[in-house]
């Protein structure tokens, strides 16, 4: 008799970050745990990002701005996720809402990781090793925007792929429809992220 496989929550991340995207989504579909993933990944990410943003500006800015940056970080995932969910509901596809939202958190991770991939080394290098200026100055004035832009574009393109994959696999949308949902409905929704930034700041 085949032994029942032991459930380990962190496997979804292990599979996702080692390139086994499909397996990661399988794991999410088998054992969806949106509560834990939101608490462990998205919310701390948003809070830490707001502090990092403040820290890289070398200032103690008003808590209002910190809140806005946290909201902006959160909305990178939240707005496309809500739009996708709404579209899937309209399409009446047979999918698990919790699993889909959790899988979309994983799908957004390439973009998040890309942003961190600039900030973390830049902070370590500029603040702790060289001590010349905040990394805000480094990317906005000293030309390091190139790294941030390249990583951001790469992360965004990867997110496009993983999100379409998520729509197809977890959302059970036809593979030839999913890119259109992502491109024409979810990506324009990121204008909301821009609006949060512009409106509030």
Partner 1 sequence: MNLTRLKPYLPSLFFVLALCVLVLSLWRPHAGHHRMEEGDFPNEYVPAVTWPLGYFEVAPEIENVWIDNVPARVENGRVWVDNLTIGWHQLKVRRGDSIEDRGRALYVTPFGPDNFFWVFVTDVHIARFGKYLREVAENGFKLINEIGPAFVFCGGDVTDYALDSEYEGFLKCRKSLELPLYMIPGNHETYIDPDLDHWSEMFGPTDYSVKFGDALFVAANVLGPYRSWGGATREDLEWIDNQLSRDGKIKFFLNHLPVVYSQTTIYTIFPLINRGEYNTCVCRGTEELLEILRRENAISVFGHWHVFDEPFVYENLLFFHVPSLTPNSKGGLIRWLLGGGMMAGGYGFYIFRVENWKLTYAHPIDIRKLEIVREKASDSVVVVRIRNDHPYPVPLNLKFDFRCGASIDGKPVSCVTYGQVSWVRFDAPSGLTTLTVRRI
Chain residues that interact with partner 1, rule: CB under 8 A: 32-35, 38-39, 42-43, 46, 57-65, 67-68, 70-71, 74, 78, 98, 101-102, 132-134, 137, 139-141, 143, 145-146, 148-149, 198-201
Q: How far is CA 201 from the centre of its chain?
A: 22
Q: Based on CB atoms, which residue is closest to partner 1, 140 or 177?
A: 140
The nearer residue to partner 1, 93 or 140, going by C-beta atoms, is: 140
Instruction: Write down the least CB distance from residue 62 to partner 1, Å.
Output: 5
Report in angstroms how near the CB of residue 139 gets to partner 1 at its nearest: 8
- Estimate to the nearest angstrom the gap between the alpha carbon of 79 and the chain centroid: 11
Contact 100, 84 (CB under 8 A): yes
Helix or strand run (H / E) with residue 56: helix 43-56
Q: How far is the CB of 177 from partner 1 (least distance, A)?
A: 26
Instruction: Count other Cβ atoms within 10 Å, centred on residue 137.
Output: 15
The residue assigned the tokens 């969806």 is: 32
Question: Based on CB atoms, which residue is closest to partner 1, 136 or 182?
Answer: 136
Interatomic CA distance for residues 140 and 136, integer angstroms = 6
Q: In 3-state terms, what secondary structure has residue 18?
A: coil
Rounded to the nearest whole angstrom, what is the least distance from the CB of residue 130 to partner 1 in the complex?
Answer: 11
Nearer of residues 86 and 180 to partner 1, judged by Cβ: 86
**Residue placing its CB nearer to partner 1 in the complex, 81 or 164:** 81
Tell me the closest approach of the beta carbon of residue 47 to partner 1, in angstroms: 9
Q: Are 105 and 38 in contact (CB under 8 A)?
A: yes
């Amino acid at each position: 008799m085949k032994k029942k496989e032991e459930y380990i929550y962190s496997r979804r991340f292990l599979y996702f970050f080692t390139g086994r995207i499909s397996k990661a989504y399988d794991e999410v579909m088998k054992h969806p745990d949106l509560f834990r993933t939101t608490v462990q990944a998205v919310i701390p990410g948003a809070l830490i990002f707001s502090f990092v943003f403040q820290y890289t500006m070398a200032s103690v800015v008003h808590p209002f701005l910190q809140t806005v940056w946290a909201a902006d970080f959160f909305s990178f995932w939240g707005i496309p996720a809500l739009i996708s969910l709404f579209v899937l509901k309209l399409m009446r596809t047979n999918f698990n809402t919790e699993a889909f939202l959790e899988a979309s958190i994983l799908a957004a991770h390439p973009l998040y990781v890309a942003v961190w991939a600039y900030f973390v080394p830049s902070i370590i290098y500029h603040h702790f090793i060289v001590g010349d200026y905040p990394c805000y100055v480094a990317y906005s004035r000293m030309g390091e925007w190139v790294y941030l832009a390249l990583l951001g574009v790469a992360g965004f393109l990867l997110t496009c792929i993983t999100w379409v994959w998520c729509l197809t696999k977890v959302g059970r949308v036809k593979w030839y429809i999913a890119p259109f949902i992502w491109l024409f409905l979810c990506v324009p929704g990121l204008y909301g992220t821009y609006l949060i930034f512009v409106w509030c700041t």
